[in-house]
A and B are shown apart, each in its own frame.
Chain A
Amino acid sequence: MRASAWLGWKIESNWTDPLIFAIYSIIRPISTAAILIVMYLVIRGGEFSKPDFVNMYVGNAFFILVGAAIQGVSFGILDDREHYRTLKYIYIAPIRVPVYLIGRSLGSILVAVFSVLITLVFGALFLKMPIVFSEINWGLLTTASFLGLLAMISLGIVLGSWTLIIKNNAWSLGESLGAGLLIFSGAVFPLNVLPMPLQWIGNALPISYWLALIRRALVPEIGRTYPMYTDYSDARLILILLGFTLIYALIAVLVFKRFDFIARERGNIDMVSNY
Protein backbone atom coordinates (compact mmCIF):
# COMPACT_ATOMS: atom_id res chain seq x y z
CA MET A 1 0.00 0.00 0.00
CA ARG A 2 2.78 2.42 1.01
CA ALA A 3 4.77 1.77 -2.15
CA SER A 4 1.76 2.14 -4.43
CA ALA A 5 0.66 5.33 -2.64
CA TRP A 6 4.19 6.69 -3.16
CA LEU A 7 4.05 5.69 -6.82
CA GLY A 8 0.62 7.33 -7.20
CA TRP A 9 1.89 10.54 -5.63
CA LYS A 10 4.96 10.61 -7.87
CA ILE A 11 2.86 10.07 -11.01
CA GLU A 12 0.48 12.84 -9.95
CA SER A 13 3.13 15.36 -9.05
CA ASN A 14 6.51 14.80 -10.71
CA TRP A 15 5.53 15.69 -14.29
CA THR A 16 6.64 19.25 -13.64
CA ASP A 17 8.49 21.37 -11.10
CA PRO A 18 6.87 21.99 -7.68
CA LEU A 19 5.90 25.60 -8.43
CA ILE A 20 3.97 24.77 -11.61
CA PHE A 21 2.44 21.79 -9.85
CA ALA A 22 1.26 24.08 -7.02
CA ILE A 23 -0.23 26.56 -9.52
CA TYR A 24 -1.90 23.68 -11.38
CA SER A 25 -3.33 22.38 -8.12
CA ILE A 26 -4.73 25.81 -7.29
CA ILE A 27 -6.18 26.89 -10.64
CA ARG A 28 -8.36 23.89 -11.35
CA PRO A 29 -10.34 23.73 -8.08
CA ILE A 30 -10.63 27.50 -7.83
CA SER A 31 -11.98 27.68 -11.39
CA THR A 32 -14.56 24.99 -10.70
CA ALA A 33 -15.62 26.76 -7.49
CA ALA A 34 -15.65 30.08 -9.34
CA ILE A 35 -18.22 28.78 -11.85
CA LEU A 36 -20.59 28.27 -8.92
CA ILE A 37 -19.63 31.61 -7.39
CA VAL A 38 -20.44 33.46 -10.62
CA MET A 39 -23.71 31.54 -11.07
CA TYR A 40 -24.69 32.59 -7.54
CA LEU A 41 -23.48 36.15 -8.14
CA VAL A 42 -25.54 36.50 -11.34
CA ILE A 43 -28.76 35.36 -9.68
CA ARG A 44 -28.50 36.35 -6.05
CA GLY A 45 -25.89 39.10 -5.96
CA GLY A 46 -22.64 39.12 -4.02
CA GLU A 47 -23.73 38.21 -0.49
CA PHE A 48 -21.36 35.31 0.04
CA SER A 49 -21.88 34.97 3.79
CA LYS A 50 -25.51 33.86 3.36
CA PRO A 51 -26.12 30.32 4.66
CA ASP A 52 -27.33 28.93 1.33
CA PHE A 53 -24.12 30.05 -0.41
CA VAL A 54 -21.84 28.87 2.41
CA ASN A 55 -23.47 25.43 2.38
CA MET A 56 -23.20 25.24 -1.40
CA TYR A 57 -19.57 26.35 -1.36
CA VAL A 58 -18.51 23.93 1.38
CA GLY A 59 -20.34 21.05 -0.34
CA ASN A 60 -18.68 21.89 -3.64
CA ALA A 61 -15.22 22.19 -2.04
CA PHE A 62 -15.41 18.78 -0.36
CA PHE A 63 -16.91 17.22 -3.46
CA ILE A 64 -13.46 17.57 -5.06
CA LEU A 65 -12.48 14.59 -2.89
CA VAL A 66 -15.30 12.49 -4.32
CA GLY A 67 -14.09 12.99 -7.89
CA ALA A 68 -10.49 12.25 -6.93
CA ALA A 69 -11.30 9.09 -4.99
CA ILE A 70 -13.62 7.75 -7.66
CA GLN A 71 -11.34 8.58 -10.57
CA GLY A 72 -8.17 7.60 -8.73
CA VAL A 73 -8.69 3.85 -9.01
CA SER A 74 -10.01 3.82 -12.59
CA PHE A 75 -7.31 6.23 -13.79
CA GLY A 76 -4.72 4.06 -12.06
CA ILE A 77 -5.94 1.05 -14.01
CA LEU A 78 -6.07 2.95 -17.30
CA ASP A 79 -2.67 4.56 -16.75
CA ASP A 80 -1.02 1.26 -15.84
CA ARG A 81 -2.74 -0.70 -18.60
CA GLU A 82 -2.77 1.74 -21.52
CA HIS A 83 -0.03 4.29 -20.87
CA TYR A 84 2.75 2.68 -18.83
CA ARG A 85 1.64 -0.85 -19.79
CA THR A 86 2.58 -2.23 -16.39
CA LEU A 87 -0.75 -3.62 -15.19
CA LYS A 88 0.16 -7.11 -16.36
CA TYR A 89 3.34 -7.01 -14.25
CA ILE A 90 1.39 -5.76 -11.23
CA TYR A 91 -0.94 -8.74 -11.66
CA ILE A 92 1.85 -11.30 -11.65
CA ALA A 93 3.72 -9.61 -8.76
CA PRO A 94 3.17 -11.09 -5.27
CA ILE A 95 0.83 -8.30 -4.14
CA ARG A 96 -2.92 -7.94 -3.70
CA VAL A 97 -4.22 -5.94 -6.67
CA PRO A 98 -7.08 -4.15 -4.84
CA VAL A 99 -4.64 -2.99 -2.15
CA TYR A 100 -2.29 -1.72 -4.85
CA LEU A 101 -5.16 0.12 -6.56
CA ILE A 102 -6.27 1.76 -3.31
CA GLY A 103 -2.71 2.89 -2.67
CA ARG A 104 -2.42 4.12 -6.24
CA SER A 105 -5.52 6.30 -5.78
CA LEU A 106 -4.16 7.88 -2.59
CA GLY A 107 -1.88 10.13 -4.68
CA SER A 108 -4.84 11.81 -6.38
CA ILE A 109 -6.71 11.96 -3.06
CA LEU A 110 -3.75 13.77 -1.52
CA VAL A 111 -3.77 16.33 -4.35
CA ALA A 112 -7.53 16.69 -3.83
CA VAL A 113 -7.08 17.33 -0.09
CA PHE A 114 -4.70 20.11 -1.03
CA SER A 115 -7.31 21.51 -3.46
CA VAL A 116 -10.08 21.35 -0.83
CA LEU A 117 -7.92 23.31 1.62
CA ILE A 118 -7.09 25.94 -1.01
CA THR A 119 -10.76 26.31 -1.95
CA LEU A 120 -11.78 26.74 1.70
CA VAL A 121 -9.00 29.24 2.40
CA PHE A 122 -9.98 31.16 -0.75
CA GLY A 123 -13.60 31.26 0.46
CA ALA A 124 -12.65 32.41 3.94
CA LEU A 125 -10.16 35.07 2.81
CA PHE A 126 -11.65 36.50 -0.36
CA LEU A 127 -15.37 35.79 -0.01
CA LYS A 128 -15.39 36.50 3.75
CA MET A 129 -17.21 33.27 4.45
CA PRO A 130 -17.76 32.56 8.15
CA ILE A 131 -15.40 29.59 8.48
CA VAL A 132 -13.94 30.03 11.97
CA PHE A 133 -11.04 27.77 12.91
CA SER A 134 -11.91 27.66 16.62
CA GLU A 135 -15.55 26.68 15.91
CA ILE A 136 -14.75 23.64 13.82
CA ASN A 137 -15.90 20.37 15.39
CA TRP A 138 -12.66 18.44 14.77
CA GLY A 139 -13.90 15.14 16.19
CA LEU A 140 -16.90 15.09 13.92
CA LEU A 141 -14.80 16.25 10.94
CA THR A 142 -12.22 13.48 11.47
CA THR A 143 -14.79 10.71 12.00
CA ALA A 144 -16.91 11.78 9.04
CA SER A 145 -13.87 12.22 6.80
CA PHE A 146 -12.51 8.76 7.67
CA LEU A 147 -15.81 6.99 7.00
CA GLY A 148 -16.56 9.11 3.95
CA LEU A 149 -13.17 8.39 2.44
CA LEU A 150 -13.64 4.64 2.92
CA ALA A 151 -17.03 4.86 1.22
CA MET A 152 -15.59 6.88 -1.66
CA ILE A 153 -12.69 4.49 -2.16
CA SER A 154 -15.24 1.65 -2.25
CA LEU A 155 -17.12 3.50 -4.97
CA GLY A 156 -13.79 4.01 -6.72
CA ILE A 157 -13.12 0.27 -6.61
CA VAL A 158 -16.55 -0.41 -8.12
CA LEU A 159 -15.88 2.00 -10.98
CA GLY A 160 -12.29 0.82 -11.36
CA SER A 161 -13.47 -2.79 -11.58
CA TRP A 162 -15.75 -1.83 -14.44
CA THR A 163 -12.81 -0.05 -16.10
CA LEU A 164 -10.98 -3.39 -16.14
CA ILE A 165 -13.29 -4.67 -18.85
CA ILE A 166 -13.96 -1.45 -20.82
CA LYS A 167 -11.87 -0.85 -23.90
CA ASN A 168 -13.04 2.55 -25.13
CA ASN A 169 -14.27 5.75 -23.53
CA ALA A 170 -13.17 4.71 -20.04
CA TRP A 171 -11.21 7.95 -19.51
CA SER A 172 -14.36 10.04 -19.22
CA LEU A 173 -16.17 7.59 -16.99
CA GLY A 174 -14.93 8.86 -13.62
CA GLU A 175 -15.60 12.50 -14.36
CA SER A 176 -19.08 11.83 -15.70
CA LEU A 177 -20.10 9.60 -12.81
CA GLY A 178 -18.66 12.26 -10.50
CA ALA A 179 -21.06 14.74 -12.10
CA GLY A 180 -23.88 12.28 -11.48
CA LEU A 181 -22.98 12.07 -7.82
CA LEU A 182 -22.94 15.88 -7.71
CA ILE A 183 -26.64 15.79 -8.57
CA PHE A 184 -27.65 13.03 -6.20
CA SER A 185 -25.48 13.81 -3.16
CA GLY A 186 -26.91 17.20 -2.31
CA ALA A 187 -23.44 18.72 -2.60
CA VAL A 188 -24.47 22.00 -4.21
CA PHE A 189 -28.25 21.95 -3.87
CA PRO A 190 -30.49 20.12 -1.41
CA LEU A 191 -32.08 16.87 -2.52
CA ASN A 192 -35.60 18.32 -2.24
CA VAL A 193 -34.96 20.21 -5.52
CA LEU A 194 -34.99 16.83 -7.30
CA PRO A 195 -38.13 14.84 -8.20
CA MET A 196 -38.98 12.24 -5.52
CA PRO A 197 -37.61 9.06 -7.23
CA LEU A 198 -34.26 10.78 -7.74
CA GLN A 199 -34.18 11.76 -4.06
CA TRP A 200 -34.23 8.06 -3.19
CA ILE A 201 -30.99 7.59 -5.12
CA GLY A 202 -29.43 10.42 -3.14
CA ASN A 203 -30.57 8.89 0.14
CA ALA A 204 -28.88 5.61 -0.80
CA LEU A 205 -25.50 7.30 -1.25
CA PRO A 206 -23.07 7.55 1.67
CA ILE A 207 -21.74 10.81 0.21
CA SER A 208 -25.03 12.60 1.00
CA TYR A 209 -24.65 11.81 4.72
CA TRP A 210 -20.92 12.48 4.67
CA LEU A 211 -21.41 15.98 3.22
CA ALA A 212 -24.16 16.74 5.75
CA LEU A 213 -21.75 15.81 8.55
CA ILE A 214 -18.91 17.82 7.02
CA ARG A 215 -21.09 20.95 6.90
CA ARG A 216 -22.11 20.47 10.52
CA ALA A 217 -18.48 20.01 11.55
CA LEU A 218 -16.98 22.88 9.55
CA VAL A 219 -19.67 25.56 9.90
CA PRO A 220 -21.77 24.16 12.78
CA GLU A 221 -24.63 26.67 12.89
CA ILE A 222 -24.94 27.26 9.17
CA GLY A 223 -24.46 23.58 8.36
CA ARG A 224 -27.52 22.62 10.40
CA THR A 225 -29.71 25.00 8.40
CA TYR A 226 -29.08 23.09 5.15
CA PRO A 227 -32.42 21.50 4.28
CA MET A 228 -31.20 17.89 4.34
CA TYR A 229 -31.55 15.51 7.28
CA THR A 230 -32.35 18.41 9.63
CA ASP A 231 -34.23 16.06 12.00
CA TYR A 232 -31.25 13.69 12.29
CA SER A 233 -28.73 14.01 15.10
CA ASP A 234 -24.98 13.87 14.35
CA ALA A 235 -24.73 10.41 15.96
CA ARG A 236 -27.56 9.09 13.82
CA LEU A 237 -25.94 10.45 10.66
CA ILE A 238 -22.62 8.82 11.62
CA LEU A 239 -24.35 5.47 12.18
CA ILE A 240 -26.08 5.70 8.81
CA LEU A 241 -22.77 6.65 7.14
CA LEU A 242 -21.05 3.72 8.87
CA GLY A 243 -23.76 1.34 7.69
CA PHE A 244 -23.58 2.54 4.10
CA THR A 245 -19.78 2.46 4.16
CA LEU A 246 -19.85 -1.21 5.16
CA ILE A 247 -22.45 -2.01 2.51
CA TYR A 248 -20.47 -0.22 -0.21
CA ALA A 249 -17.23 -1.89 0.90
CA LEU A 250 -18.93 -5.29 0.57
CA ILE A 251 -20.32 -4.35 -2.84
CA ALA A 252 -16.82 -3.22 -3.90
CA VAL A 253 -15.31 -6.60 -2.91
CA LEU A 254 -17.98 -8.55 -4.81
CA VAL A 255 -17.88 -6.31 -7.88
CA PHE A 256 -14.08 -6.42 -8.04
CA LYS A 257 -14.06 -10.22 -7.81
CA ARG A 258 -16.60 -10.50 -10.61
CA PHE A 259 -15.01 -8.01 -13.01
CA ASP A 260 -11.51 -9.23 -12.22
CA PHE A 261 -12.63 -12.73 -13.22
CA ILE A 262 -14.20 -11.47 -16.46
CA ALA A 263 -11.11 -9.37 -17.28
CA ARG A 264 -8.81 -12.38 -16.79
CA GLU A 265 -11.08 -14.60 -18.90
CA ARG A 266 -11.23 -12.09 -21.74
CA GLY A 267 -7.55 -11.19 -21.60
CA ASN A 268 -8.25 -7.56 -20.70
CA ILE A 269 -5.40 -7.25 -18.21
CA ASP A 270 -2.62 -6.97 -20.78
CA MET A 271 -4.81 -5.32 -23.39
CA VAL A 272 -3.73 -2.05 -24.98
CA SER A 273 -6.64 -0.46 -26.80
CA ASN A 274 -4.71 2.64 -27.97
CA TYR A 275 -7.99 4.49 -27.51
Chain B
Amino acid sequence: MALQTKITRNSGFRLFLQSVIGRAYPRIIGTQRDLAWLFFDIFLPFISMVAYVFIYRALKAPEEYIGFVVLGSAMTAYWLNILWAMSSQLYWEKETGNLALYVISPASMMAILFGMASGGLFATTVRALFILIIGNWLFQVSYTITSFWALFLVFILTMVALYGLGMMLSSLFLLFNREAWHTANLLQAPVMLFSGFYFPVKVFNFWIAAAASLIPLTLGMDAIRQLVFPSGALLGFLTVKVELIVLAVLSVVFLAGAYFTLRWMEKLAIRYGRITDRLG
Protein backbone atom coordinates (compact mmCIF):
# COMPACT_ATOMS: atom_id res chain seq x y z
CA MET B 1 0.00 0.00 0.00
CA ALA B 2 1.52 3.29 -1.03
CA LEU B 3 2.05 5.86 1.70
CA GLN B 4 0.33 9.15 1.12
CA THR B 5 1.67 12.31 2.65
CA LYS B 6 -0.85 15.00 3.18
CA ILE B 7 0.53 18.38 2.16
CA THR B 8 -1.06 21.33 3.85
CA ARG B 9 -0.65 24.73 2.35
CA ASN B 10 -0.73 27.55 4.81
CA SER B 11 -2.08 30.93 3.95
CA GLY B 12 -2.74 34.25 5.63
CA PHE B 13 -1.19 34.74 9.05
CA ARG B 14 -0.01 31.11 9.31
CA LEU B 15 1.95 31.47 6.07
CA PHE B 16 3.35 34.79 7.29
CA LEU B 17 4.50 33.20 10.54
CA GLN B 18 5.88 30.17 8.73
CA SER B 19 7.88 32.46 6.44
CA VAL B 20 9.26 34.42 9.41
CA ILE B 21 10.36 31.21 11.10
CA GLY B 22 11.72 29.80 7.84
CA ARG B 23 13.92 32.85 7.21
CA ALA B 24 15.00 33.17 10.85
CA TYR B 25 15.91 29.46 11.02
CA PRO B 26 19.25 29.57 9.14
CA ARG B 27 20.40 32.55 11.18
CA ILE B 28 19.70 30.85 14.49
CA ILE B 29 20.59 27.26 13.65
CA GLY B 30 23.52 28.29 11.46
CA THR B 31 25.32 29.65 14.51
CA GLN B 32 25.25 26.20 16.11
CA ARG B 33 26.39 24.36 13.01
CA ASP B 34 29.42 26.51 12.26
CA LEU B 35 31.18 27.39 15.48
CA ALA B 36 33.81 29.39 13.60
CA TRP B 37 31.74 32.46 14.50
CA LEU B 38 32.97 32.12 18.09
CA PHE B 39 36.38 33.17 16.80
CA PHE B 40 35.43 35.52 13.98
CA ASP B 41 32.42 37.27 15.54
CA ILE B 42 33.45 37.38 19.18
CA PHE B 43 37.19 37.16 19.55
CA LEU B 44 38.05 39.46 16.65
CA PRO B 45 35.56 42.29 17.52
CA PHE B 46 36.81 41.87 21.06
CA ILE B 47 40.26 42.98 19.84
CA SER B 48 38.76 46.32 18.68
CA MET B 49 37.25 46.78 22.12
CA VAL B 50 40.61 46.13 23.78
CA ALA B 51 42.22 48.76 21.51
CA TYR B 52 39.73 51.43 22.59
CA VAL B 53 40.03 50.43 26.27
CA PHE B 54 43.80 50.87 26.11
CA ILE B 55 43.42 54.25 24.40
CA TYR B 56 41.34 55.40 27.39
CA ARG B 57 43.86 53.83 29.76
CA ALA B 58 46.67 55.71 27.98
CA LEU B 59 44.66 58.93 28.35
CA LYS B 60 44.10 58.09 32.04
CA ALA B 61 40.33 58.30 31.63
CA PRO B 62 37.96 57.57 34.55
CA GLU B 63 37.11 53.87 34.85
CA GLU B 64 33.49 54.48 33.77
CA TYR B 65 34.73 55.24 30.26
CA ILE B 66 36.08 51.70 30.08
CA GLY B 67 32.49 50.63 30.77
CA PHE B 68 31.29 52.89 27.94
CA VAL B 69 33.70 51.13 25.57
CA VAL B 70 32.57 47.65 26.67
CA LEU B 71 28.91 48.62 26.25
CA GLY B 72 29.61 50.35 22.92
CA SER B 73 31.52 47.33 21.62
CA ALA B 74 28.61 45.03 22.46
CA MET B 75 26.22 47.38 20.68
CA THR B 76 28.61 47.55 17.70
CA ALA B 77 27.62 43.95 16.98
CA TYR B 78 24.05 45.13 16.33
CA TRP B 79 25.09 47.98 14.04
CA LEU B 80 27.35 45.68 12.02
CA ASN B 81 24.51 43.17 11.80
CA ILE B 82 22.18 45.89 10.53
CA LEU B 83 24.68 47.04 7.89
CA TRP B 84 25.98 43.73 6.63
CA ALA B 85 23.22 41.22 7.38
CA MET B 86 20.11 43.37 7.04
CA SER B 87 20.71 46.39 4.78
CA SER B 88 22.94 44.56 2.33
CA GLN B 89 21.11 41.23 2.60
CA LEU B 90 18.55 41.62 -0.19
CA TYR B 91 21.36 42.95 -2.40
CA TRP B 92 23.39 39.77 -1.69
CA GLU B 93 20.27 37.70 -2.31
CA LYS B 94 19.88 39.43 -5.67
CA GLU B 95 23.53 38.74 -6.50
CA THR B 96 23.19 35.06 -5.67
CA GLY B 97 19.84 34.66 -7.42
CA ASN B 98 17.73 34.00 -4.32
CA LEU B 99 15.77 37.25 -4.44
CA ALA B 100 13.78 36.29 -7.50
CA LEU B 101 12.88 33.01 -5.76
CA TYR B 102 11.63 34.90 -2.70
CA VAL B 103 9.50 37.12 -4.88
CA ILE B 104 7.86 34.31 -6.84
CA SER B 105 7.23 32.25 -3.70
CA PRO B 106 3.87 32.73 -1.94
CA ALA B 107 5.69 34.12 1.11
CA SER B 108 5.29 37.80 1.93
CA MET B 109 8.48 39.85 1.52
CA MET B 110 7.67 41.59 4.82
CA ALA B 111 7.70 38.16 6.46
CA ILE B 112 11.10 37.47 4.89
CA LEU B 113 12.39 40.76 6.31
CA PHE B 114 10.90 40.01 9.74
CA GLY B 115 12.54 36.59 9.65
CA MET B 116 15.90 38.11 8.74
CA ALA B 117 15.50 40.65 11.54
CA SER B 118 14.39 38.24 14.26
CA GLY B 119 17.02 35.64 13.37
CA GLY B 120 19.71 38.31 13.16
CA LEU B 121 18.60 39.86 16.43
CA PHE B 122 18.80 36.52 18.24
CA ALA B 123 22.21 35.57 16.85
CA THR B 124 23.62 39.06 17.42
CA THR B 125 22.32 39.17 20.99
CA VAL B 126 24.24 35.99 21.73
CA ARG B 127 27.38 37.59 20.29
CA ALA B 128 26.83 40.89 22.12
CA LEU B 129 26.31 39.03 25.40
CA PHE B 130 29.59 37.16 24.94
CA ILE B 131 31.43 40.43 24.24
CA LEU B 132 29.77 42.09 27.26
CA ILE B 133 30.51 39.21 29.63
CA ILE B 134 34.15 38.83 28.56
CA GLY B 135 34.68 42.62 28.56
CA ASN B 136 33.17 42.97 32.03
CA TRP B 137 35.23 40.12 33.37
CA LEU B 138 38.50 41.30 31.83
CA PHE B 139 38.20 44.98 32.65
CA GLN B 140 36.19 44.67 35.88
CA VAL B 141 33.42 47.04 34.80
CA SER B 142 30.91 47.81 37.55
CA TYR B 143 27.29 48.79 36.92
CA THR B 144 24.68 50.48 39.07
CA ILE B 145 21.34 49.70 37.51
CA THR B 146 18.70 52.21 38.57
CA SER B 147 15.67 50.55 36.92
CA PHE B 148 15.60 47.08 35.37
CA TRP B 149 12.22 47.70 33.73
CA ALA B 150 13.29 50.94 32.12
CA LEU B 151 16.48 49.23 30.92
CA PHE B 152 14.49 46.35 29.45
CA LEU B 153 12.08 48.73 27.73
CA VAL B 154 14.92 50.86 26.31
CA PHE B 155 16.63 47.78 24.91
CA ILE B 156 13.45 46.39 23.33
CA LEU B 157 12.45 49.70 21.74
CA THR B 158 16.00 50.32 20.52
CA MET B 159 16.06 46.91 18.85
CA VAL B 160 12.60 47.29 17.28
CA ALA B 161 13.52 50.72 15.88
CA LEU B 162 16.99 49.56 14.79
CA TYR B 163 15.80 46.44 12.99
CA GLY B 164 12.93 48.46 11.49
CA LEU B 165 15.61 50.75 10.07
CA GLY B 166 17.51 47.71 8.83
CA MET B 167 14.39 46.36 7.09
CA MET B 168 13.83 49.73 5.43
CA LEU B 169 17.45 49.99 4.31
CA SER B 170 17.42 46.48 2.88
CA SER B 171 14.81 47.60 0.35
CA LEU B 172 16.66 50.82 -0.44
CA PHE B 173 19.93 48.94 -0.92
CA LEU B 174 18.28 47.10 -3.81
CA LEU B 175 18.73 50.32 -5.77
CA PHE B 176 22.47 49.77 -5.58
CA ASN B 177 24.81 47.53 -7.45
CA ARG B 178 28.48 47.62 -6.49
CA GLU B 179 27.76 50.74 -4.43
CA ALA B 180 25.99 48.56 -1.83
CA TRP B 181 29.24 47.26 -0.36
CA HIS B 182 30.82 50.71 -0.29
CA THR B 183 27.70 52.34 1.17
CA ALA B 184 27.59 49.85 4.03
CA ASN B 185 31.31 50.38 4.52
CA LEU B 186 30.83 54.13 4.50
CA LEU B 187 28.03 54.03 7.10
CA GLN B 188 30.18 52.15 9.59
CA ALA B 189 32.68 54.67 11.00
CA PRO B 190 30.60 57.90 10.84
CA VAL B 191 27.71 56.27 12.70
CA MET B 192 30.11 54.91 15.31
CA LEU B 193 31.40 58.45 15.70
CA PHE B 194 28.14 60.39 15.87
CA SER B 195 26.10 57.78 17.75
CA GLY B 196 28.64 57.87 20.57
CA PHE B 197 29.65 54.23 20.74
CA TYR B 198 32.67 55.03 22.92
CA PHE B 199 31.75 58.33 24.58
CA PRO B 200 28.59 60.21 25.59
CA VAL B 201 26.83 61.77 22.61
CA LYS B 202 26.33 64.91 24.73
CA VAL B 203 29.85 66.04 23.74
CA PHE B 204 28.42 67.12 20.38
CA ASN B 205 26.24 70.19 20.10
CA PHE B 206 22.48 69.70 20.40
CA TRP B 207 21.66 69.66 16.68
CA ILE B 208 24.40 67.16 15.78
CA ALA B 209 23.27 64.88 18.60
CA ALA B 210 19.63 65.33 17.53
CA ALA B 211 20.48 64.42 13.92
CA ALA B 212 22.47 61.40 15.13
CA SER B 213 19.38 60.34 17.11
CA LEU B 214 17.78 59.21 13.86
CA ILE B 215 19.96 56.13 14.32
CA PRO B 216 18.13 54.39 17.19
CA LEU B 217 21.38 53.20 18.77
CA THR B 218 22.28 56.81 19.64
CA LEU B 219 19.39 57.30 22.06
CA GLY B 220 19.34 53.64 23.04
CA MET B 221 22.96 53.69 24.20
CA ASP B 222 22.54 57.10 25.82
CA ALA B 223 19.57 55.84 27.84
CA ILE B 224 21.36 52.59 28.77
CA ARG B 225 24.41 54.58 29.94
CA GLN B 226 22.12 56.73 32.09
CA LEU B 227 20.49 53.64 33.59
CA VAL B 228 23.60 51.57 34.33
CA PHE B 229 26.44 53.99 35.14
CA PRO B 230 26.45 56.30 38.19
CA SER B 231 27.55 59.35 36.18
CA GLY B 232 25.37 58.38 33.21
CA ALA B 233 22.57 60.79 34.11
CA LEU B 234 25.00 63.73 34.15
CA LEU B 235 26.32 62.76 30.72
CA GLY B 236 22.92 62.00 29.20
CA PHE B 237 21.74 63.83 26.08
CA LEU B 238 17.99 63.80 26.93
CA THR B 239 16.09 62.31 29.87
CA VAL B 240 15.39 58.57 29.68
CA LYS B 241 11.65 59.28 29.48
CA VAL B 242 12.04 61.51 26.41
CA GLU B 243 14.42 59.02 24.81
CA LEU B 244 11.88 56.22 25.31
CA ILE B 245 9.19 58.29 23.58
CA VAL B 246 11.47 59.12 20.65
CA LEU B 247 12.50 55.46 20.33
CA ALA B 248 8.83 54.41 20.27
CA VAL B 249 8.13 56.95 17.50
CA LEU B 250 11.19 55.79 15.53
CA SER B 251 10.01 52.17 15.84
CA VAL B 252 6.66 52.99 14.23
CA VAL B 253 8.21 55.23 11.56
CA PHE B 254 10.86 52.73 10.51
CA LEU B 255 8.53 49.71 10.44
CA ALA B 256 6.00 51.66 8.36
CA GLY B 257 8.90 52.93 6.23
CA ALA B 258 10.06 49.34 5.68
CA TYR B 259 6.58 48.38 4.44
CA PHE B 260 6.28 51.29 2.02
CA THR B 261 9.85 51.12 0.66
CA LEU B 262 9.37 47.41 0.03
CA ARG B 263 6.19 48.06 -1.96
CA TRP B 264 7.95 50.83 -3.86
CA MET B 265 10.88 48.54 -4.66
CA GLU B 266 8.50 45.79 -5.82
CA LYS B 267 6.88 48.26 -8.20
CA LEU B 268 10.27 49.31 -9.55
CA ALA B 269 11.25 45.69 -9.88
CA ILE B 270 8.16 44.85 -11.91
CA ARG B 271 8.51 47.93 -14.11
CA TYR B 272 12.27 47.80 -14.75
CA GLY B 273 13.17 44.17 -14.00
CA ARG B 274 15.63 45.12 -11.29
CA ILE B 275 15.12 41.99 -9.21
CA THR B 276 17.06 39.77 -11.56
CA ASP B 277 19.70 42.12 -12.96
CA ARG B 278 23.19 41.46 -11.72
CA LEU B 279 25.47 44.25 -12.78
CA GLY B 280 28.52 43.12 -10.79
A interface vs B, CB < 8 Å?
A: 15-16, 24, 27-28, 31-32, 34-36, 38-44, 56, 83-84, 168-169, 172-173, 176-177, 179-180, 182-183, 188-190, 193-194, 274
A188: B residues at CB distance < 8 A: 51, 55, 58
CB of A44 within 8 A of CB of B192, answer no
Chain B 179-201: CB-based contact to A (< 8 A → 1; otherwise 0): 10010011011101100011110
Whether the Cβ atoms of A24 and B182 lie closer than 8 Å is yes
The 10 tightest CB contacts between A and B, nearest first, are A176-B44, A189-B58, A169-B40, A31-B189, A15-B178, A179-B48, A31-B190, A180-B47, A43-B59, A43-B61
B122 contacts A by Cβ under 8 Å: no
Q: Say if the beta carbon of B9 comes within 8 Å of chain A.
A: no
Within 8 A of A (CB), among B128-182: 177-179, 182
Cβ-neighbour of A189 out of B36, B48, B55 (below 8 A) = B55
Q: Nearest Cβ distance between residue B205 and chain A, in whole angstroms?
A: 12
A101, B15: Cα distance in complex, Å: 48
A-B contact pairs, 18 of them (CB 8 A): A16-B182, A24-B182, A27-B189, A28-B190, A34-B193, A35-B192, A39-B61, A44-B59, A84-B280, A169-B37, A169-B40, A172-B40, A176-B40, A177-B44, A177-B47, A179-B47, A183-B54, A193-B57
B214 nearest CB across to chain A (Å)? 17
A38 and B65 form a contact (CB under 8 A)? no
What's the minimum C-beta distance from B99 to chain A, rounded to whole angstroms? 13
B128 CB, min distance to chain A CBs, angstroms: 15
Chain A residues whose CB sits within 8 angstroms of the CB of B188 once the complex forms: 28
Residue pair A40, B59 in contact (C-beta under 8 Å)? yes
Q: Nearest-CB distance from A26 to chain B (Å)?
A: 11
Smallest CB gap from A194: residue in B: B54
Q: How far is the CA of A179 from the CA of B40 in the complex (A)?
A: 13
A24 and B51 alpha carbons, distance in the complex (Å)? 25
- Is the beta-carbon distance between B193 and A31 smaller than 8 angstroms? yes
- Cα of A28 to Cα of B181 in the assembled complex, Å: 14
Q: In the assembly, what is the distance between CA of A28 and CA of B185, in Å?
A: 8
A43 touches B56 (CB 8 A): yes
Give the interface size bracket for B toward A.
Answer: 35 or more
Asked if B199 and A32 sit within 8 Å, CB to CB, the answer is no
Chain B residues within 8 Å of A193, by CB = 54, 57-58
Verify if B96 is at the interface (C-beta below 8 Å from A). yes
Pairwise interchain contact A176-B198, C-beta atoms closer than 8 A: no
Contacts A28-B189, A31-B193 given; does A43 touch B60 at CB 8 Å: yes
Alpha-carbon gap, A32 to B198, bound state (A)? 12
Q: How far is the CA of A180 from the CA of B57 in the complex (A)?
A: 17
For the complex, what is the distance from the CA of A193 to the CA of B44, rounded to whole Å? 21
Closest to B58 in A: A189
Does B45 lie at the interface of the complex (its beta carbon under 8 Å from any beta carbon of A)? yes
Contact, CB under 8 Å: A183 / B50: yes
Instruction: Known A-B contacts: A44-B59, A176-B44, A179-B51. Give 9 more (CB < 8 A).
Output: A24-B182, A39-B59, A39-B199, A42-B61, A56-B55, A180-B47, A183-B47, A188-B55, A188-B58
**CB-based contact B189/A189 at 8 Å:** no
Q: How far is the CA of A43 from the CA of B177 in the complex (A)?
A: 42
- Checking A15, A42, A183, A274 against B96 with a beta-carbon cut-off of 8 angstroms, the contacting residue is A274
Contact A15 B65, beta carbon cutoff 8 Å? no
The proximity string for B residues 34-73 relative to A, scoring 1 for CB distances below 8 Å and 0 otherwise, is 1011011100110110111011111111000100000000
